[in-house]
Structure 1
Amino acid sequence: MNKKYLNVKLYFWLLFLVSSIIFVSFPQIDLAVASLFYDGKSFPLNGSWIEDILYHSVKPLIIAFALSSLAIFIYNYLKKKTLLDINSKAMLFIVLFLTIAPALIVNTTLKENWGRARPAQTVNFGGDKEFTPAFIPSNQGGYSFSSGHTAAAFSLLGFALLAKRRQRLFISLVLVYGTLVSLARMAAGGHFLSDVVTSFFIVYISTHILYKLVFKEDSA
């Protein structure tokens, strides 16, 4: 199970496959989880201070990490240094993992074309749109599948993989942060469980594949 395919452990591929089959076969799971955050009239945590902080923290964090990496790269290039090992390969990796999974796959391909209504938009939770299972294209005109904020939050994993020291700590911090952002989006009625789980797997798998392609070696 620890054997890797495209730099991703077999059990991760299997988890993604099994979870996808479960969400399609038992869509009531999404409704049951969403109902935990619904009080019968609304999603009360929507707009709360903690949900607001998590929601608005993603973009600034990504910009800060990206600009800091660019600044270090320029410094290393001009001064012939190796600070944090941010070289041309590292910058290529950063550009790729920030654009391919969260931007191209999740936001451009899925969110813009799948049409799945958000929980708060469905009749099940006070809206006027029909609930549809994950992975099933819909004409609801929604942007629920999959979660862009979840994908963006977990994309910080790429920066963690570049760390030469305390890599496991940084990876753990990213996983905790991504999970909190995902919970916030579900609590606000913005996404179903399947939306955030799918985005996590897409980003995790894509980031590790890109690492292998750029650095020609397996990630830790």
Structure 2
Amino acid sequence: MAIGFLLFTILALASSLAYASDPSPLQDFCVAVNDSKATVFVNGKICKDPKMVTADDFFFSGLNKAGNTSNPVGSKVTPVNVNQLAGLNTLGISLVRIDYAPYGLNPPHTHPRATEVLVVVQGTLYVGFVTSNPANQNMKNKLFTKILYPGDVFVFPEGLIHFQFNVGKTKAVAFAGLSSQNPGVITIANAVFGSNPPISSDVLTKAFQVNKNVIKHLQGQF
């Protein structure tokens, strides 16, 4: 299956999700102005003068290149959101490429502003997401998982913790569309154990019900 066709499919799927998150635009486009000194704050970015807009404002190149997975988790996410592609501003859509080394992991994380639809183009992934806390306190958060192969698609609902793990002995590649121009990402382990300043070890010890030395060890990893 051609990567170009898969990318088109992802974008089409993600565009149908756009109404779930970012507000609908009131103009044809609003190409973002990269101006860190701008004094006007908007929910998104300031619009470039339409008379100055060119085709390059809607163009990004490079998703054909593999990401560097030489890191502790063995994965690399290459985003194409409004920060990389100014023409996405107000359009409620973005894209990522994810590369996985053998047994590489895209760790448990959430996208606070977007639903994600993922398609595998190479390799075998074990993916899943966990539901939010149930109303009945006697019940546990439910885990939904699936093994994905090339051409398979899986959806991660907005805001829920999810992950992807390469269970194969060769590298894997996936692309994902997200229903926001800037979906955001919260990697759970980094946020909990690597915040600056760190969360009090007393808080984490009580939350995770473990010895304080375990918490200090985990904080030391981040």
**TM-score, normalization: structure 2?**
0.23
Which structure has the greater CA radius of gyration?
A: 2
Greater helix fraction, Structure 1 or Structure 2: 1
TM-score (norm 1): 0.23
Structure having the higher strand fraction is: 2
